[in-house]
Amino acid sequence: MSSARSRLELCAALRREARAGLSNRALQPAATWTQPVSLNPARERLPKLLIACSLPLAQIRQMIADGHPWFAEMAGPQWSFMEVPTGHWPMFSVPDRPADVLHDLLATR
């Protein structure tokens, strides 16, 4: 699949007004390409949630089981999973859903 085609498919679920402003809101910060990631060991004590939007949760679970490097760390018991099949930008296509998930996470802490 071409890059342009995949972007179009990911945007298919977005409302017209969200798509119009997407290019200004979805810019990749330059430092993510130039600075190495430094992970704090304290993160291990935190509960973790993956919200699957672009890939089916069954496919992600299979990649975890297969040890795929993008998902291998998610094999631990501190991980929970949720599927919101909306494409890459749920904050634009279904903005209430990510907000509700974050609210519910804070309410349980």
Give the start-end residues of each E strand in the chain.
48-52, 79-83
Please tell me whether the overall predicted TM-score, pTM, comes out greater than 0.75 for this model. no
Structure tokens at 1: 């699949």
Taking only the tens place, the pLDDT of each residue in 49-70 is 999 988 999 999 999 999 999 9
* pLDDT (0 to 100) of residue 64: 96
* pLDDT (0 to 100) of residue 90: 84
Q: Which amino acid is at 90?
A: P
Number of domains in the chain: 1
Task: Confirm whether 35 is domain-assigned.
Answer: no
Q: Strand 48-52 relative to strand 79-83: parallel, antiparallel, unpaired?
A: parallel
pLDDT above 70: residue 2: no
Task: Confirm whether 31 is domain-assigned.
Answer: no
* pLDDT (0 to 100) of residue 105: 79
Task: Confirm whether 36 is domain-assigned.
Answer: no
Task: Confirm whether 32 is domain-assigned.
Answer: no
pLDDT above 60: residue 8: no
Q: Which amino acid is at 54?
A: S
Nearest to 21 by CA among 30, 31, 11, 29: 11
pLDDT above 80: residue 27: no
The domain in which residue 62 lies consists of 3-25+46-107
Task: Confirm whether 30 is domain-assigned.
Answer: no
Task: Confirm whether 39 is domain-assigned.
Answer: no
Task: Confirm whether 93 is domain-assigned.
Answer: yes
Task: Confirm whether 40 is domain-assigned.
Answer: no
Distance between CA atoms of 108 and 83, rounded to whole angstroms?
19
